């Protein structure tokens, strides 16, 4: 590669909630050098040879062809670029935050989920600067979760208040009063973002839970006019 070229890639930070309402990160085992066989973020190179119509299309290609999952939400986070992040030379990476359904199943031995916390606290290192990308994507998720309904995209379309509470707490990293969340969901209901199904979910113990339905609109999240306070 001549020094005039730039290595441009799109990488995906795909998250899902596990049964314990903890966030997990999707990784792929790299098939090619550099860092061959290591677990890293799924991504693709973008250049004139690919017929991607746009960067977003390239992100969808990475999700479909590499991660082989379909996200409920996709958002561009940022772009990093410098001469040291890739051993091959000056490179830039535009990275996306993808939110997956909790029941997402992986197709292939080269894919796995790991605890997001392990990546964030450094106990699980990633090649390139992927650890930083993950941190920045999670920061975006947490920041938006303060005043939007973004965590609902980590749930199935039909969900309970308890599940929603787990999603918000995982994104925010702190406890949230369930009454606060109920108030917010109520406001979303009035504006048509959420509907009561009338059905109930019967857990092993305790009173049954109302099943709500989240009708997502064009990958956007509901914006509340106040923040969840510390």
Partner DNA sequence: ATAATAGTGTCTGTGAGACATTATGTA
Partner DNA sequence: TACATAATGTCTCACAGACACTATTAT
d(CA 213, CA 58): 30
Residue 218 CB partners (closer than 8 Å, separation 6+): none
d(CA 215, CA 212): 10
Among 79, 177, 197, 210, binds a second copy (CB under 8 A): 79
Determine if 147 is a binding residue for a second copy (CB under 8 A). Answer: yes
d(CA 5, CA 202): 59
Among 137, 160, 214, 222, binds DNA (CB under 7 A): 160
Among 8, 135, 156, 161, binds DNA (CB under 7 A): 161
Terminal alpha carbon distance of the chain? 50
Nearer to a second copy, 89 or 102 (CB): 89
Determine if 205 is a binding residue for DNA (CB under 7 A). Answer: yes
d(CA 124, CA 40): 11
**Residues counted in the chain:** 230
CB of 146 to DNA, least distance (A): 9
- Residue 23 binds which of a second copy, DNA, none (CB < 5-8 A, kind-dependent): none
Determine if 229 is a binding residue for a second copy (CB under 8 A). Answer: yes
Q: Which residues bind DNA (CB under 7 A)?
A: 160-162, 176-180, 182-184, 187, 200, 202-210, 224-230
């Amino acid at each position: 590669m001549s020094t005039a070229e730039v290595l441009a890639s799109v990488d995906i930070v795909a998250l899902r909630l596990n049964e314990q309402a903890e966030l997990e990160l999707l990784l792929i085992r790299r098939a090619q050098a550099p860092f061959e066989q290591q677990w890293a973020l799924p991504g693709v190179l973008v250049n004139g040879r690919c017929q991607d119509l746009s960067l977003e299309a390239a992100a969808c290609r990475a999700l479909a062809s590499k991660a082989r999952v379909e996200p409920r939400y996709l958002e561009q986070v940022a772009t990093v670029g410098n001469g040291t992040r890739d051993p091959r030379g000056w490179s830039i990476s535009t990275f996306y935050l993808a939110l997956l359904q909790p029941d997402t199943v992986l197709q292939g031995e080269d894919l796995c989920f790991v605890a997001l916390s392990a990546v964030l606290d450094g106990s699980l290192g990633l090649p390139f600067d992927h650890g930083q990308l993950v941190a920045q994507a999670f920061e975006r998720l947490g920041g938006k979760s303060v005043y939007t309904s973004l965590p609902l995209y980590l749930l199935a379309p039909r969900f309970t208040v308890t599940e929603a509470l787990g999603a918000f707490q995982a994104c925010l990293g702190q406890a949230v009063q369930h009454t606060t969340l109920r108030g917010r969901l109520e406001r979303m209901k009035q504006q048509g973002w959420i509907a009561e199904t009338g059905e109930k979910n019967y857990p092993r113990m305790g009173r049954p839970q109302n099943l709500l339905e989240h009708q997502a609109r064009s990958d956007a999240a509901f914006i509340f006019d106040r923040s969840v306070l510390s």
